[in-house]
Structure 1
Amino acid sequence: MSSEIQPYVFDPESEEEGEMAQAQSLPGRLSMNVSEWCTCGNCARMPTEAENVCCKETPPVVRRMGDTGTPVSCMTLHSGLEPVCLNLYSLQNALNIHRADYGPLRQRTYQRRCRHLAYRSFVSWCWGYLGRKVRVIIPACVVLRSSQTQRVNMLVFGLPLAKP
């Protein structure tokens, strides 16, 4: 009888063929109507399968949605989203903080820097500090709201729009 420790002895064996067949049989969200996977009513189709996520499917976002006095049906309706993540002056302040901590952002256009900072502010607000190179998926409705707000900010403040 061997007294060696054997890793994975008590773990269940995987059924690779069954798992792959099951994954292939499920329709991807890219082939579905947005209304089939979005439960908040404000999402739009995103370019990749992984990005097609509703705010109500993401636990940290759902927790943040619940911190208002009245429940909101979508993260885009949360009273804190605009001042924390979308307000141009908040984003300018976030840019100053980022420059002081990490140096200048590498995005070439002002609009891309604002979008990056809006996403970064949203992630920090909902998840807290994640660590270097840790990424999360931002809900499609928040991405859409952010891009719409950035376009309005660029037009209102007379800043040049980036080419799509």
Structure 2
Amino acid sequence: MKKIQKFTENCVKEALRLDYLAGELSATDVARRLNCSEEEALERIGVTELRRTLAYSTEEIEAMYQRNENFNGKRADFDKLRLFQDIKADLTEFLQRCGDVQRLEEIKPNQYEKNAVLFLDMNTLSTLNREETVMLAAIMGKADRMVVSAHTGGCIRLSFCVENVWID
């Protein structure tokens, strides 16, 4: 029972952290929900150090935006495309084995996106057996980047990113 409570608390903190970083919640909102001071709330959700490293100038943000918005890939990295297909096949098998998976979605490799992403939506409270845990850990190890986030519809979204699908 304590493990479930601890897991739930961690999920709540992670959801608050992501909402705060996305600008959907203020430090005051987070503090109110955690029933503590703003400084303590940010420390509890682990963003005090991170917040300092995310300070970009207006010019840097504009440059990143233009680089992403004007991207047009010319030559695909076939190893990365194969990796995307491998992860997708593994996630499809995981989806069939695990009853806590709600859906599998994707942003397919296309010339206007540098990266390709697969999204696996799971129940907020999910229990995995040993086989499912080993399988999911192996899939996570293949991805270039992993993001775990709260998602609309009362689920946890696991995002598996294959970066730099395009060479140029």
TM-score tier by shorter-chain length is under 0.3
Question: Which of the two has higher C-alpha Rg?
Answer: 1
* TM score, norm. by length of structure 1: 0.23
* TM score, norm. by length of structure 2: 0.23
